[in-house]
């Protein structure tokens, strides 16, 4: 464990000490007022992650899609000295995203601790130095939601909290509830995942710059329009570095409950360097929109 880091061991059981208790507090939601919270935003938040056997940490980053700003998730390898929620948040605050299109306004904190109370409340206690970034009010709201999404994803995917219920997060700064994050967002109340934060189109696998075996390459992703048409394109890098179209096609995001918005492609690709692009298909004379892209290698 790094010096100066407070760690609270999480256990998937009863109440943990050191958490605040109050009778049925009301959750609050932090929302920005920019493009991602306006008319072009999806109406729902991302489904809560389910328990997985992998020890990779789900980490949400901030990224741009056209003129809007959304949250995107990566699964990251992280040290195992700390509990799953703390590990994921530390990666969010101190690591760089794999995808160069993503970023984080958080800074590596001197102190970070997390705990779970009851069945659905995560408490995050972080030192003030994590907020050493100058943000406007809209980006500050997204940064707080980035933390909420990452903390809830880590708790659910590690099995510490039942993913079948809404998880709430309380953020403390140096043990206090009265801090104003990035000079704009009052912390201390229970906060839930806000709708309209996640990217409308989101490539889940492959992750940025990962390597796949030659042959059948499985591509998975999610759209916020269940049953909606998606257009995809594979570009292949030439020896001179240019990227030329290699494969194109269309698919439809699933509409079934439990799978809503998910899409899967199985492509046969020879060895090479590729870029995948997926966008929601435009209707009529409207262009495709909300494109996500991912570079990967086949060896």
pLDDT at 162: 82
For 214-233, the pLDDT digits (tens) are: 888 999 999 999 999 999 99
Lay out the sheet containing 272-280: strands in order across.
210-212, 289-298, 272-280, 229-237, 243-252
pLDDT score of 9 more than 90: no
Separation in Å, CA 245 to CA 62, 90, 248: 28, 38, 8
Question: 57: helix, coil or strand?
Answer: strand
CA distance 90 to 106: 10
* DSSP-assigned letters across all residues of 98-144: SSTTEE------S-EEEEEETTTEEEEEE-GGGG-S---HHHHHHHH
CA distance 9 to 99: 31
pLDDT at 45: 62
- As a whole number of Å, the end-to-end CA separation of the chain is 37
For 92-104, the pLDDT digits (tens) are: 999 999 999 999 9
pLDDT score of 24 more than 70: no
Better-scored residue on pLDDT, 85 or 23: 85
Map tokens 């700390």 to a residue: 82
pLDDT band at 41 (very low <50, low <70, confident <90, very high): very low
Q: How many CA atoms lie within 13 A of 231 on its CB side?
A: 10
pLDDT at 62: 97
The model's pTM: 0.80
pLDDT score of 20 more than 70: no
pLDDT, averaged across the chain: 84
pLDDT band at 53 (very low <50, low <70, confident <90, very high): low
């Amino acid at each position: 464990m790094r010096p100066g880091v407070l760690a609270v061991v999480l256990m998937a059981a009863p109440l943990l000490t050191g958490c605040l208790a109050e009778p049925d507090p009301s959750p609050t939601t932090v929302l920005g007022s920019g493009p991602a919270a306006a008319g072009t935003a999806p109406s729902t938040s991302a489904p809560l992650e389910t328990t997985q056997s992998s020890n990779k940490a789900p980490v949400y980053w901030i990224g741009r899609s056209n003129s809007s700003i959304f949250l995107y998730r990566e699964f990251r390898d992280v040290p195992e000295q700390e509990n799953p929620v703390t590990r994921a948040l530390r990666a969010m605050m101190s690591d760089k995203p794999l995808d160069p299109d993503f970023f984080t306004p958080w800074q590596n904190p001197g102190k970070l601790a997390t705990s779970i109370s009851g069945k659905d409340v995560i408490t995050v206690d972080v030192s003030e130095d994590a907020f050493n970034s100058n943000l406007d009010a809209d980006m500050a709201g997204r940064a707080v939601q980035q933390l909420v999404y990452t903390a809830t994803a880590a708790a659910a995917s590690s099995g510490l909290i039942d993913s079948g219920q809404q998880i709430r997060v309380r953020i403390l700064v140096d043990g206090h509830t009265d801090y104003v994050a990035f000079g704009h967002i009052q912390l201390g109340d229970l906060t839930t995942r806000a709708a309209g934060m996640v990217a409308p189109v989101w490539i889940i696998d492959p992750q940025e710059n990962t390597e796949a075996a030659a042959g059948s390459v499985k591509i998975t992703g999610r759209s916020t329009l269940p049953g909606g048409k998606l257009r995809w394109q594979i570009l292949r890098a030439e020896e001179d570095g240019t990227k030329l179209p290699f494969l194109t096609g269309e698919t439809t995001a699933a509409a079934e409950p439990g799978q809503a918005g998910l899409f899967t492609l199985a492509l046969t690709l020879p060895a090479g360097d590729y870029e995948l692009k997926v966008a929601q298909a435009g209707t009529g004379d409207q262009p495709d929109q909300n494109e996500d892209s991912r570079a990967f290698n086949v060896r």
